[in-house]
Amino acid sequence: MGTRPGTRRGVAALGTALGAALVLALAGCDSDSQGRTRAERETATAYVDALNARDADALAALGRPGREGAAEDARGIVAERGGQGLKVTGMDVTHEFGPDFADVAITATDGRGRDHRERLALERDGKTWYVPLGRKAGGTPKPSSGTSRPG
């Protein structure tokens, strides 16, 4: 008993369709792992929004995925500078150290009407800008710079 020619064509077409679907699915996974596109100003605005909301989780989400200690860094920043009701009046973005690093000078007024200035360093990976929180997985923390002299 032989296989009918129409059946073989149907199986071949199904195999081709499944192969194409697999390639598209893998390509989609790859682009998801790279993150979405987020510009410098968008990242800086989301940073201010997270501070105003005292939302450490939102701030941690602005860091690179997979970084150890990002949540702790975000909690510390929110505890120190969060909840001021900042209204941004200006943002100046510069790239003094190459195209993958940005310095954002943020000017704002706080909830009491006082002037507020903050500098935010950003780093780029692909087309997405991140707030540098935490450290690479398995990395060692950077030593803090001391101001005292060995005696």
- In terms of average pLDDT, the best of 22-31, 106-115, 137-146 is 106-115
- pLDDT score for 137: 76
In a domain, 148, yes or no: no
In a domain, 151, yes or no: no
In a domain, 117, yes or no: yes
What's the structural domain count of the chain? 1
In a domain, 52, yes or no: yes
Domain that holds residue 98: 40-130
In a domain, 32, yes or no: no
- Which domain CATH number covers 52? 3.10.450.50
140: alpha, beta or left? (left if phi > 0; alpha if psi -120 to 50): beta
In a domain, 57, yes or no: yes
In a domain, 126, yes or no: yes
The model's pLDDT over 70-90, given as tens digits with 9 standing for 90+, comes to 999 999 999 999 999 999 999
Residue of 121, 122, 127, 137 whose CA lies nearest to 65: 137
In a domain, 66, yes or no: yes
Q: How far is CA 124 from the centre of its chain?
A: 8
